[in-house]
Amino acid sequence: MNWRSGLHTLGPGSPVVLAVTETPLLNETLKAALDGLAVLRRLPAGLRDLDDLVRHIAPDAVVVDSDEGATSLAPAAAACAAPLVHISLKTRELRVFRESEWHAFPSWETSPNSIRNVLIGAIYASATGHREIGERSLL
């Protein structure tokens, strides 16, 4: 039995996205954007041993909104083979850590749909083993 099946309503095979954010509005944006596509779980930024908690949850993707979160959670996301999506609201930058490197999306549109497209694209690229990640494949 998949342990995730008891935690959400989309079904046992649904991707789980873990949001570790400082911005409550981003959580609501992610929730609406991922509705019907993935299960969103949220943890507050700054928890002790957050990297270990991420490893135990083993999500399909991790979303952060701080530079510190991006740096500190990259190893845990990599250990789970989960893409780490860093959304910087200050600089309006979006990047994905996957396959031990950062992939930037300099021309992304700051909209919930753009975030959703990059996030779901990164999950599917990881699941299918695609090594390349970029605007053409994800946006």
CA-to-CA distance for 115 and 49, rounded, in angstroms?
27
Q: Residue 52 to residues 7, 60, 75, 79, 123: CA-CA distances in angstroms?
A: 20, 15, 10, 10, 21
- Location of structure tokens 């549109």: 109
CA-to-CA distance for 57 and 20, rounded, in angstroms?
12
Condensed to tens digits (0 to 9), the pLDDT of residues 109-130 reads: 778 888 899 999 999 888 766 5
User: Residues 19, 40: contact at Cβ < 8 Å?
Assistant: yes
> Quick one: pLDDT at residue 97?
95
SS3 121: helix
Neighbours of 38 (CB within 10 A): 22
Q: Residue 127 to residues 26, 53, 83, 88, 101: CA-CA distances in angstroms?
A: 25, 22, 10, 25, 17
Q: What is the pTM of this model?
A: 0.83
> Quick one: pLDDT at residue 10?
52
Neighbouring-strand partners of residue 137: none
Domains along the sequence of the chain with CATH:
11-138 (3.40.50.2300)
Neighbours of 49 (CB within 10 A): 9
With a cut of 50, list the residues of the chain below it in pLDDT. Answer: 1-9, 135-139
> Quick one: pLDDT at residue 93?
87
Query: Which amino acid, 121?
Result: G
